[in-house]
Amino acid sequence: MSVSKAKADEAPALVLFRTDRRVADNRALLAASESGAPVAAAFVLDEESPGLRATGGAKRWWLHHSLKALAGRLQQLGVELTMRRGPMAEVVRGLLRETGAEKVYWNRRYHPVEHGIDRDLKTDLQARGIEVADFGGFLLHEPDSLRTKAGGPFKIYAPFVRALFSGREAWEPVAPPKRLRPWGGRLRSDRLEDWGLLPTKPNWAGRFSEVWTPGEAAGLERLAAFVRDGVGRYAQARDLSGQNNSSKLSAHLAHGEITPAQVLRAVAEADGVGAEGKEKFRRELAWRDFCHHLLFHNPDLATKPFNPLFERFPYRGDPEELRAWRRGQTGYPIVDAAMRELWTFGAMPNRLRLIAGSFLVKHLLTDWREGEAWFWDTLVDADPANNAYNWQWIAGSGPDPAPYFRIFNPITQGQKFDPEGDHIRRHVPELARLRGESIHTPWEATQAELRAAGVELGVTYPWPIVDHGQARERALAAFRLARGREQG
Ligand code: FAD
């Protein structure tokens, strides 16, 4: 790419980066580069506009590294990424004043609060004679564009996915700009290090980088690896938590480092891979659009049960039990492995999110919002739509949910999805030497087995915090009570 800087007095096209920290398949950047004006780029960290939810800790860790990667990538293209912090509208107006830019380009955001901020900003800027161009990319669809036959938003996944894919196999991502003409002026930029996005005391993210590399280049590499080695066995093996079978693309998608269009295109073009894996993957990826569709039309998805029956659900909410769940000390190995993996690496596979989530809501009778909040803070892929929807699904309170009476059995789920106990051994080292089935039920092991494995229940590893059978009955009784209240 050739780089020749434009003069400082030539008005630039300003590209705003937010949840689109990439150069490829970035329609805003492409349009700016084709506008004829030199390009100035900025990232705005908005933690102040009313209604925004504070970004969780693990996601902030990712954001820091993601911004570093984006700044580096843009620098290769000759463009400096200006970093500013403050309310979006105020900061953008300031940048326009400082640069003299008369054109602004951004990719759309779909969280209802962010969407509202951008809509108001666009109206305001246009009234001042600034040209604003915004683009899709974060999702496969525009949440306002897909409607049921009755004209409303979708609430059920199956018809949604039919509508989403009707007549389309894959989407067409756009190429990175062939040429960027950087703006010649200079803007004051904050120092990323001063934003305090990384944890320090203690540095609980110390091991994240063993498994994650934030940034567009790493996201594209991971996508290529999945297309090469993963999608072929995805349909059969996605749920086996002891293996590394899913794409691990969720954080790159949540941070906009890659787009679902790029992912679908790459998977559709995978060589020598049967249709089954591709189709299964396509349908999983579509959940992401479905969740965002629901959040767009239901701004309270993370805070308000969709089904009013759950407004006054008789949750117990025991703080000690919540603490034990968060720390992976419930005495159920598959749950504990999941929760410790989450804390140590900022993620866990989907099946384990379901098992651990169900355990909190049903076995411990704790409000799903506690779980949602913990995941929000600890997941590197924390996503306002995917997280909220899936927690409501588990709780039975959401649109198109799991029926409440479907209660995951943490023992049989462990046996089925981590049959050799590999995942448990990796994340709960104090059980690593237990043999055979006892890895899923240490409390049923003989004294000799426990001794040989160096396990002392109640000392090195907890007894089960609740009895599975009793907890199940208690959860069902709570549901009957809630339903009785509603009907009475
Ligand atoms: P793959 O199986 O490879 O799937 C590919 C992509 O499809 C994912 O990257 C994701 O973007 C999308 N996807 C897959 N399953 C789902 C699903 N059930 N709902 C929505 N999108 C899906 N996902 C997040 O991205 N952020 C969250 O905050 C989040 N919170 C969750 C909370 C709970 C309680 C549960 C049960 C699930 C949650 N998920 C969340 C969905 C899912 O678990 C993750 O997207 C998935 O585990 C990420 O791994 P992967 O990229 O290897 O997935």
pLDDT in tens, 469-478: 999 999 999 9
How far does the centroid of ligand 1 lie from the alpha carbon of residue 195, in Å? 28
Query: Above 90 in pLDDT, residue 282?
Result: yes
| 372 pLDDT higher than 90 | yes
Percent of all residues in the chain with a pLDDT value above 70, rounded to a whole number: 97
Mutating to test ligand 1, I would choose from 62, 250, 394 the residue with most ligand atoms within 8 A of its C-beta, which is 250
- Count Cβ atoms within 10 A of the Cβ of residue 311 and give its class: 0-12 exposed, 13-18 middle, 19 or more buried: exposed
Given this model, what pLDDT does residue 243 score? 63
Residue burial 240-272, b: 16+ Cβ < 10 Å; e: rest: bbbbebbbbbbbbbbbbbbbbbbbbbbbbebee
From CA 25, how far away is CA 208, in angstroms rounded?
27
Mean pLDDT of 140-158: 95
Q: Which residue has the tokens 């800790």?
A: 57
What does the pLDDT read at residue 33? 96
At residue 402, the pLDDT reads: 80
**Model confidence at 2: pLDDT above 50:** no
pLDDT digits 0-9 by tens, 296-311: 999 999 999 999 999 9
DSSP bridge partners of 103: 13, 131
Would you state the pLDDT for residue 403? 84
Torsions phi, psi for 304 (to 5 deg): -125, 125
Distances (CA, A) of 126 to 119, 130, 179, 470: 11, 5, 27, 62
Least confident interval from 30-44, 74-88, 111-125, 169-183:
169-183
Give the distance (Å) from ligand 1 centre to CA of residue 321: 26
Mutate to test the pocket of ligand 1, among 231, 253, 350 (most ligand atoms within 8 A of CB): 350
Give kind and range of the element (H or E) at residue 14: strand 13-17
Q: Residues lining ligand 1, CB < 6 A?
A: 238, 246-250, 253-254, 284-285, 287-288, 291, 349-350, 353-354, 357, 375, 379, 381-383, 386-387, 390-391, 394
The residue-averaged pLDDT of 438-460 equals: 97
Q: For a ligand 1 pocket test, name from 212, 390, 417 the mutation site with the most ligand atoms within 8 angstroms of its C-beta.
A: 390
Q: How many whole angstroms from 391 Cα to the centroid of ligand 1?
A: 12
pTM higher than 0.85 for the full model? yes
Rg of the chain in Å (alpha carbons): 24
Q: Are 27 and 174 in contact (CB under 8 A)?
A: yes
Q: Which residue, by CA, sits nearest to atom 52 of ligand 1?
A: 248
Integer CA distances (angstroms), 318 to 121, 212, 354, 426, 469, in order: 44, 34, 21, 29, 19
CA distance 234 to 223: 13
Bridge-based pairing state of the strands 131-135 and 103-107:
parallel
Mean of pLDDT values over 151-172 = 92
Of the pLDDT bands very low, low, confident and very high (cuts 50, 70, 90), residue 103 is very high
| Banded pLDDT at 192 (limits 50, 70, 90) | very high
- What is the distance in A from the centroid of ligand 1 to the CA of 196? 27
101: left (phi over 0), alpha (psi -120 to 50) or beta: beta
Nearest CA to ligand 1 atom 9: 250
Once rounded to an integer, what is the mean pLDDT over residues 19-33?
Answer: 98
Of the pLDDT bands very low, low, confident and very high (cuts 50, 70, 90), residue 201 is confident
Atom of ligand 1 nearest to the CA of 288: 21
pLDDT tens track for 222-253: 999 999 988 988 887 777 766 668 999 999 99
